[in-house]
Amino acid sequence: MSRRCGTDAVGDSGPADSGGDDGAPPALSHAFRGTPLVGGVSEDALAAAALRLGAIDAAVILGSGLGAVVARARVREKVPIDDIAGMPRPRVAGHPGFVALGEWSGKRVAIFMGRVHAYEDYTQREVAYPVRVAAAAGARTLVVTNAAGGLNETFSPGELMLIADHLNFTNSSPLLGAPAPNETRFPDLTEAYASRLRAAARAEAQRRGITLREGIYCGVLGPAYETPAEVRFYRSAGGDAVGMSTVPEVIQARALGLEVAGISVITNVWHAGASTTHEEVLARVAGAVEPLSYLVEAILTAAD
């Protein structure tokens, strides 16, 4: 069916120290020392990955075919995924394998060009690993983007949807198992997507005349697109869009105390008898890159 993704209560302890004002790499929090981390990645690997990014204020994860969004950032370096310890490699078209480091809207950012998904035979912990690395490098904000299929029949292909909340239909979580020392064991997801960051996106959309919908994102496992019965069920549950990513990253971010904003590109709207291919999804998102870039920029400007 519809899409292919690419995917606020503050926790008991916030993200790691973001380093000094001189822009030096972050001093890693003691929370990452002394206890092995879950998910098959050692604490030393996480520390090395964070040091490779350097001190950052925010992280952006770009979904399927959305890599061109990075053009509005001042990129000083593109780091191959293989150079970042423990980082899983994307295996799906439209997800480049590198991280762009630089500045955007006055913030030091790490822009993850693509993502991995659980349907690629990664665990939810592995899917959310970039968020853990960003938090260890000092990030306080996460912006997630994705390509999603429209469930809401008032939506049109090519429109943007600001994620107000999500429904987790993956039957899993990146927090399963022993918690990392810096994680909140039972994070409050009452405001998983920060209202003040959503307000900034809405204001920018109004200023620029961008059509911006707002709704509920249904996170599913994939990789098969939805059956008609599943679409009816997701709609009855209150879903406005559906995709195969984002939810694990958001849960992980909230457990680490990061503020989150999320935006979906609506690639198609499901109708009886319609079908969707991944190639069609990638073609659809290309036209949304410019307006999406403006909204990400506004969110980063509003971020702490």
pLDDT tens profile 139-195 = 999 999 999 999 999 999 999 999 999 999 999 999 999 888 789 999 999 999 999
117 is catalytic: yes
pLDDT computed for residue 175 by the predictor: 96
Q: Which of 47, 95, 136, 297 is catalytic?
A: 95
Read off the DSSP letter of residue 37: P
95 is catalytic: yes
268 is catalytic: yes
pTM: predicted TM-score of the whole model, two decimal places: 0.85
**Are the C-beta atoms of 217 and 240 separated by less than 8 Å?**
yes
- The Cβ-side half-sphere exposure at 65, using a 13 Å CA radius, reads 23
Residue 15, in any domain of the structure:
no
Residue 195, in any domain of the structure:
yes
Residue 16, in any domain of the structure:
no
Note down the domain range covering 143. Answer: 30-302
Residue 56, in any domain of the structure:
yes
- List beta partners, residue 142: 59, 260
pLDDT computed for residue 274 by the predictor: 66
| Alpha helices (H) along the chain | 43-53, 124-127, 129-136, 195-208, 228-236, 247-255, 278-285, 289-302
pLDDT computed for residue 272 by the predictor: 58
CATH number of the domain at 146, please: 3.40.50.1580
Mean pLDDT of 11-23: 38
Residue 23, in any domain of the structure:
no
Q: Which of 18, 64, 152, 293 is catalytic?
A: 64
Residue 7, in any domain of the structure:
no
CA distance 258 to 253: 5
pLDDT computed for residue 285 by the predictor: 86
pLDDT digits 0-9 by tens, 265-303: 999 998 755 667 777 777 788 889 999 999 999 999 999
| 263 confidence band (pLDDT: 50, 70, 90) | very high
pLDDT digits 0-9 by tens, 192-249: 999 999 999 999 999 999 999 999 999 999 999 999 999 999 999 999 999 999 999 9
CA distance 221 to 301: 32
pLDDT digits 0-9 by tens, 91-148: 777 677 899 999 999 999 999 998 999 999 999 999 999 999 999 999 999 999 999 9
217 is catalytic: no
> pLDDT higher for 15 or 278?
278
278 is catalytic: yes
Number of structural domains (the chain) is 1
Residue 295, in any domain of the structure:
yes
Q: Which two tokens stand for residue 103?
A: 């500045």
Residue 36 has pLDDT above 80, yes or no: no
Backbone φ and ψ of 162, nearest 5°: -75, 125
Backbone φ and ψ of 66, nearest 5°: -100, 15
Backbone φ and ψ of 22, nearest 5°: -80, 0
